[in-house]
Amino acid sequence: MRRHEQREHIFKLLFMTQFNEEGEMPEQLSLYFDSLEELTEEEQAVMKKKYDDILAHIEEIDQELNEYSQGWKTSRMNRVDLTALRLAFYEMKFDEEIPVGVAINEAVELAKLFGGEDSGSFVNGILGKIASGKKEGGPVRRTHRPSHQAKIIIRSSKNQKKKEQPSSEESKN
């Protein structure tokens, strides 16, 4: 099973947690995994571990999401969008194997697939802020994965011509 498929299953498992009591989830997980054809024990273990890791960090993830999504607290978010954001935030901050861009792209695709009309752009906007480390009205935070920044200098040919030509005062001397 490819990572994309595993991610989609983890997304579905996380989504289910919002509708079931904590005590019901072991049985729900078992039923879900039993319904997947051709699932190896290793694949199930990988998905279960990532699912458990995300739940272990859920309070921290939600706190960070609340800081970046000003005006859209996690309690107000569409559950599909919230689940995609939680999964992507976990991958961006805690899973060194997943590149930030991949985590964002996959979350946007999940939001488009399972969410509403604006889900993809909503998820992309918040994850873009997280990736850049910019909180609205707050200081710029550096992520643990620094991005490449290049300084671009554009010089106009008009400005160079003006500099090369002596001014009228200089030509008089």
Residue 162 lies in a domain: no
- Beta-carbon-side half-sphere exposure of residue 166 (alpha carbons within 13 Å): 6
Residue 142 lies in a domain: no
DSSP category for residue 138: S
What's residue 164's pLDDT? 47
Nearest in space to 62 (alpha carbons), one of 130, 138, 117: 130
User: What's the rounded Cα separation, in Å, for the pair 58 and 56?
Assistant: 6
CB atoms within 10 A of CB 71: 6
Strand partners, 140: 134
Q: Is residue 84 within 8 Å of 110, Cβ to Cβ?
A: yes
Output the domain CATH number for residue 68: 1.10.940.10
User: What's the rounded Cα separation, in Å, for the pair 5 and 51?
Assistant: 14
Per-residue pLDDT tens over the stretch 113-160:
999 999 999 999 999 999 988 665 444 343 444 444 444 444 444 444
Residue 139 lies in a domain: no
Per-residue pLDDT tens over the stretch 61-117:
999 999 998 788 999 999 999 999 999 999 999 999 999 999 999 999 999 999 999
Residue 165 lies in a domain: no
Number of domains in the chain: 1
Residue 154 lies in a domain: no
Nearest in space to 13 (alpha carbons), one of 49, 57, 41, 62: 49
The model carries a pTM of 0.75
Residue 147 lies in a domain: no
Q: Is residue 121 within 8 Å of 112, Cβ to Cβ?
A: no
Domain carrying residue 75? 3-132
Residue 120 lies in a domain: yes
Q: Is residue 48 within 8 Å of 11, Cβ to Cβ?
A: no
First to last CA, the chain: 80
Residue 20 lies in a domain: yes
